[in-house]
Structure formats: C-alpha cells, structure tokens
A and B are shown apart, each in its own frame.
Chain A
Amino acid sequence: LAKTTQPISMDSYEGQEVNITCSHNNIATNDYITWYQQFPSQGPRFIIQGYKTKVTNEVASLFIPADRKSSTLSLPRVSLSDTAVYYCLVGPNTGGFKTIFGAGTRLFVKA
C-alpha cells in the first residue's frame, strides 16, 4: 500500500480557499486517491475521489499532477463548519479493505 504524508494541522480564516496537500511517492498504477472529512464524534464522510488531473464536485476539487506522487484537496471559501480532520487515502480501486486511515490533517477555520 502507498504511504501517505499530510500536514498534521493547518489554520485558515473564513472565506479563504484552503489547499491540503498529500504526498504519496510510491503510488501504484492502479491506486486511486480518496479524501474524507471527519467532525468530532462522527464517522468520516467521503468527499472526493480521483485518479489523475482534476476532479470537482459540489464540495471540493482534487488536483493530481501527471506523476501522481502528490494530490491537493482544495476547499473553496471555507467556513467555520469546515473545521475538521481531513484524511487522504491511496489504494487500489478493488475494495476499501486495502485502504488505511492515517492521522489526517486537522484544519482549524477561524472567524
């Protein structure tokens, strides 16, 4: 399994765009990149998944460069309610049991 490295924590202010980068240098050809968001005392929530280039949905965008050794989750115009832990997972798209949730990135959004 590809190991991922994320910043432990990040601070931002309301209305700013937040970019959280995840490094995965040994990503395999059949690996996908998936991001989850977790609020205190809740289970993680699926945000977005991608394989290459750019993926966008109503919540976030995921940017993946050509070498796929890193990815960036972009949250547009964050609000206080976006304060959460964000997890980057890398694994083959053949079953979630091969994925590992690390410590994630704790995002603090300030007023």
Chain B
Amino acid sequence: SQTIHQWPATLVQPVGSPLSLECTVEGTSNPNLYWYRQAAGRGLQLLFYSVGIGQISSEVPQNLSASRPQDRQFILSSKKLLLSDSGFYLCAWEGEIYEQYFGPGTRLTVT
C-alpha cells in the first residue's frame, strides 16, 4: 500500500532563516505530488505541484520554491523565511481517480 511521509513534524524558525521540508512517497511510481499550506482555521492553499522529476508548477508567487530530485521525493524550500510563511504544510500524492492523499503535515512557526 502507498504511504506518504513528511518531516519534520514541527519546526520553529526565526525570520530570515532558510527552510527545507521533505516529502517522500512509498508504494507508487511517478505520482503527481502537491504542496499545500494551511493557515489556522482556513482552507488549503495550493503552492506547487509536480508531474515528474524536475517538473514543478507554481500556483502562488512567493518566497518559496519546490524541487523534485527523485521520483518519490518532493522538497519545499525557502532562502529567507517571512512571518507570513507560518502555517501547516501538507504534501499530497494523487491517486488513480485524481483524488489526493495527504501526509501528516509539518507545522511551521516563524518567529
């Protein structure tokens, strides 16, 4: 069966520091992968999606970037965090009927 991992689970970072969040998927090959951010009490904001290695599409301009160095690995990065980058970051992979399966998430607090 397919599983999706995200780490770290929680992160507290100062403003201006770099960020790297990792997502890996097991049990499926060449999945479509997604990064979302959720602010407290709000819906999900799609940040990036990827249909394959090295193929990244950005939905919202911001100081975040994403990379897909391997088939089942999706990384979210930032060179300098802003206070507004705080939130709950979720990675998801896409199933056969285009439904999405989410990882456990990373709660990021920028101080």
Query: Using a CB–CB distance below 8 Å, which chain A residues touch chain B?
Result: 32, 34, 36, 41-46, 49, 87, 93-97, 99-104
Whether A34 contacts B99 in the complex (CB less than 8 A), given A41-B88, A101-B36, A101-B44, comes out as yes
B32 touches A44 (CB 8 A): no
B46 touches A97 (CB 8 A): yes
B98 touches A95 (CB 8 A): yes
B34 touches A43 (CB 8 A): no
Shortest CB distance A60–B (Å): 14
B42 touches A103 (CB 8 A): yes
Q: Which residue on chain A has the smallest CB distance to residue B44?
A: A101
B98 touches A87 (CB 8 A): no
A41 touches B43 (CB 8 A): no
Chain B residues with CB under 8 A of A46: 95, 99-101
Is B7 in the interface zone, CB < 8 Å from A?
no
In the bound assembly, the distance between CA atoms of A69 and B59 in angstroms comes to 27
Chain A residues with CB under 8 A of B94: 95-96
Q: Which residue on chain B has the smallest CB distance to residue A46?
A: B99
**Which residue from B43, B46, B95, B102 sits with its C-beta under 8 Å from A43?**
B102
B99 touches A43 (CB 8 A): no
Interface centre among B32, B46, B99, B103 (most CB of A within 10 A): B99
In the bound assembly, the distance between CA atoms of A102 and B41 in angstroms comes to 11
B102 touches A96 (CB 8 A): no
Shortest CB distance B78–A (Å): 21
**Which residue from A42, A45, A101 sits with its C-beta under 8 Å from B105?**
A42
Shortest CB distance A98–B (Å): 9
Shortest CB distance A109–B (Å): 19
In the bound assembly, the distance between CA atoms of A104 and B42 in angstroms comes to 9
